[in-house]
Each structure stands twice: as C-alpha cells, then as structure tokens.
C-alpha cells in the first residue's frame, strides 16, 4: 500500500517493523489522513506473522508536534463528532503486537498521546514531552488526561495539562513516562535493542502479557487479576510454552515459533 505521510518497513530488522511519521516540514503534525494511514499500517503489520514488534518514530526534530492545528482550526464540535477520529485512535490501541515509540524532539499534544498509546517509550535526550493544548484554547482529547496522569501521577500531569509546560526527556524518565533516555544519535538503535529483546520471546505470551498489562488501566484490581489468570492459562495452550520450559530444563536457548 502507498502511504503519503508515513514510511513503513515491515522488515527493518528480523521480526521488527518500523513506521516513520513523515511530515517533516510540519513537525509531523498528525492530520487525519496520517492517522488513517497509521491505523492501516498497524493493522497490516499486526496480521503479518513475521513481525513481532513494531517501532513508531519520527525524526530527530520531532516525533509529532500534535494534531494538525491548521486542519482543526475551523472545525465545529459537530464536524468533529461526525469525523469521529477517536475511532482511529481506539483501533491503534487495539494493536496486538507490542509497539515501541522512539521519540526525539517534540512529542506534544496528540504526539505525546500517540507515544503514550504505544507500549514503551525510548527517548532521545533532546525529547520534549508536553500537552500544550490549553494554550490554544482546548484540552487533550486522545487520552492525555488519562494516560499521562496514570504514568506520572496527578501533580505533574495536572501542571502539564493546565499550564502546557514541556518536560525534558530526563524529567520524563524520572516521572516514569519513558523507559530509557539515550543520546540523540542512539535513540533509534536503543529502540531496536529493546525490540530485539521482545522478539526473542514467544509471540503468543507477549501478546497475552501486553493485553493483561493494558487491562490494569481499564479495570478494577480483581477483574484485572482474573483476566491475567485466564491469559496465563492460555499460554499453556502454546507450543512455545513447552519449548520455553523444556529449554530451561535442558539449559539451552529457546526457539519460539509463535505456535
Ligand atoms: C499544524 C504545526 C503544528 C501543529 C507545528 N506546525 N506544529 N502545524 N499543527 N500541531 C508547523 C508550524 O505551523 C510551522 O509551519 C512548522 O510546523 C514549524 O513549526 P514552528 O512553530 O515554526 O517551529 P518552532 O518555532 O521550532 O516551534 C516548535 C513548536 C511549535 C514549539 C512545536 O510549532 C508549536 O507550539 N506547535 C504546536 C504544538 C501544539 O500546540 N500541539 C497540540 C496541538 S492540539 P509553517 O508553515 O509556519 O512553517 C492536539 C490535540 C490532540 O494535539 C487531540 C486530538 C487528536
């Protein structure tokens, strides 16, 4: 499929796909078409048995500076209701394979929300995270008030959302928003390194484990525990579980086939 605003490599490294947001002049502002392309690319990579982990990145200057303000400027509430862009975001969230955001430069508004919609974030030391919507008379709409608060706690989330202040990669690391911070020239390599660790594991248990961790966000503890338990049992229906445990007993490296 031909995309206008993203670049996709389904075999960037063995079992690792990469999606690059590609509107550099606009700091990768997320217009509606870009989001639809992202949804389509993720759905197709999710179907591809060869892919075990997906990286979403931008460029050194920007992961994404938010939703496209020029496209939103003249819209009414009813226009937005009809466009229903959050259906696209919901689909992205439903991607079964793990997604790592490799972030350098600006990750603002919808850009920060997109990074948080991914499962892990590797940041360049030049990364800047923020929810500056308040400065343009709106507020976060793609999960910012919820995911940021869960990630960094009420105090910092409230300050970021109410004042629009940006935080550095280092602050984001301290606050628990990102997994790793590395030098700018290394952030993509570091994301690949993390992805490689994930691709060594059984794709089946990775899928079930991701689903279970996410459940912690949208359920009470008891419901989450039952959900986790069912997915734990499900792992034992896989050949990968037998292989993983046999390999441990035989003191060798497991070979996971996703079966
Ligand atoms: C449209 C954008 C944009 C955006 C930058 N650009 N961000 N266009 N939507 N979100 C464009 C600029 O208009 C400019 O185009 C070019 O990219 C370069 O940006 P500059 O402002 O000249 O760069 P700089 O001075 O370095 O400032 C960088 C910046 C600033 C601090 C990131 O661009 C900025 O504040 N951007 C907006 C950030 C923001 O408010 N994001 C939240 C959006 S609302 P021209 O043509 O002039 O060269 C949102 C809601 C999400 O995300 C909820 C629903 C999905």
Q: What is the pLDDT of residues 79-123, one digit of tens each?
A: 999 999 999 999 999 999 999 999 999 999 999 999 999 999 999
Asked whether residue 146 falls in the same domain as residue 171, the answer is yes
Nearest residue (by CA) to ligand 1, atom 2, is: 26
Asked whether residue 129 falls in the same domain as residue 180, the answer is yes
CA–CA distance, 180 with 122 (Å, rounded to integer): 5
Q: Read out DSSP for 160-180?
A: HHHH---EEHHHHHHHTS-SE
Residue 134: CB within 6 Å of ligand 1? no
117 Cα to the center of ligand 1, angstroms: 20
Asked whether residue 151 falls in the same domain as residue 211, the answer is no
Asked whether residue 32 falls in the same domain as residue 147, the answer is yes
Q: What is the pLDDT of residues 117-159, one digit of tens each?
A: 999 999 999 999 999 999 999 999 999 999 999 999 999 999 9
To the query of whether residue 130 is one of the catalytic residues in this protein, the response is no
Asked whether residue 166 falls in the same domain as residue 217, the answer is no
CA–CA distance, 62 with 29 (Å, rounded to integer): 9
Task: Name the average pLDDT for the chain.
Answer: 95
> Two tokens at 239?
């050949």
Is residue 225 predicted with pLDDT exceeding 90?
no
> Two tokens at 34?
């870009």
CB contact at 8 A, 254 and 247: yes
CATH for 86: 3.90.226.10
Mutate to test the pocket of ligand 1, among 59, 66, 128 (most ligand atoms within 8 A of CB): 66
Least Cα distance to 32 among 82, 78, 103, 107 occurs for 82
> Two tokens at 223?
């419901």
Is residue 191 predicted with pLDDT exceeding 90?
yes
Nearest residue (by CA) to ligand 1, atom 32, is: 65
CA–CA distance, 244 with 259 (Å, rounded to integer): 12
Query: Which ligand 1 atom sits closest to the C-alpha of 131?
Result: 42
Average pLDDT over residues 198-223: 93
Look at the chain and report how many structural domains it folds into.
Answer: 2
Q: Read out DSSP for 113-131?
A: HHHHHSSEEEEETT-EEE-
Is residue 235 predicted with pLDDT exceeding 90?
no
Q: In terms of residue numbers, what domain contains 214?
A: 203-249
Question: Of 165, 180, 199, which marks where a domain is finished?
Answer: 199
Let me know if residue 255 belongs to a domain: no
Cα-to-chain-centroid distance, residue 202: 20
Per-residue pLDDT at 218: 81
Asked whether residue 125 falls in the same domain as residue 237, the answer is no
Asked whether residue 187 falls in the same domain as residue 209, the answer is no
> Two tokens at 164?
């629009």
Q: Is residue 1 packed enough to be buried (19+ CB in 10 Å), middle (13-18) or exposed (0-12)?
A: exposed
Asked whether residue 240 falls in the same domain as residue 117, the answer is no
CB contact at 8 A, 54 and 8: no
Asked whether residue 52 falls in the same domain as residue 165, the answer is yes
Per-residue pLDDT at 153: 96
In the block, which residue shows the tokens 């993390």? 194
Q: Is residue 150 packed enough to be buried (19+ CB in 10 Å), middle (13-18) or exposed (0-12)?
A: middle
Strands, sheet with 99-103, edge to edge from the N-terminal-most edge strand: 6-13, 16-21, 53-57, 99-103, 120-124, 180-182
Asked whether residue 175 falls in the same domain as residue 207, the answer is no
């Amino acid at each position: 499929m031909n995309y206008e605003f993203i670049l996709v490599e389904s075999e960037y490294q063995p079992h690792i796909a990469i999606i690059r947001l590609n509107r550099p002049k606009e700091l990768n502002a997320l217009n509606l078409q870009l989001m639809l392309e992202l949804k389509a690319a993720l759905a197709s990579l999710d179907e591809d048995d060869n892919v075990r982990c997906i990286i979403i990145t931008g460029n050194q200057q920007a992961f994404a500076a938010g939703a496209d303000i020029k496209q939103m400027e003249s819209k009414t509430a009813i226009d937005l209701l009809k466009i229903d862009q959050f259906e696209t975001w919901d689909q992205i969230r439903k991607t079964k394979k793990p997604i790592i955001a490799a972030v350098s430069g600006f990750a603002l508004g919808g850009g920060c929300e997109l990074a948080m919609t991914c499962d892990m974030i590797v940041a360049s030391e030049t990364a800047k995270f923020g929810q500056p919507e308040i400065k343009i008379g709106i507020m976060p709409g793609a999960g910012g008030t919820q995911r940021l608060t869960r990630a960094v706690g009420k105090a910092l989330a409230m300050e970021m959302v109410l004042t629009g202040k940006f935080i550095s990669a280092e602050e984001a690391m301290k606050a628990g928003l990102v997994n790793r911070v590395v030098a700018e020239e290394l952030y993509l390599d570091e994301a690949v390194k993390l992805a490689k660790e994930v691709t060594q594991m059984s794709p089946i248990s990775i899928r079930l484990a991701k689903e279970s961790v996410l459940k912690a966000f949208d359920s009470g503890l008891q419901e989450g525990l039952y959900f986790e338990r069912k997915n734990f049992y499900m792992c034992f229906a896989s050949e990968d579980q037998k292989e993983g445990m046999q390999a441990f007993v035989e003191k060798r490296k497991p070979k996971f086939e996703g079966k």
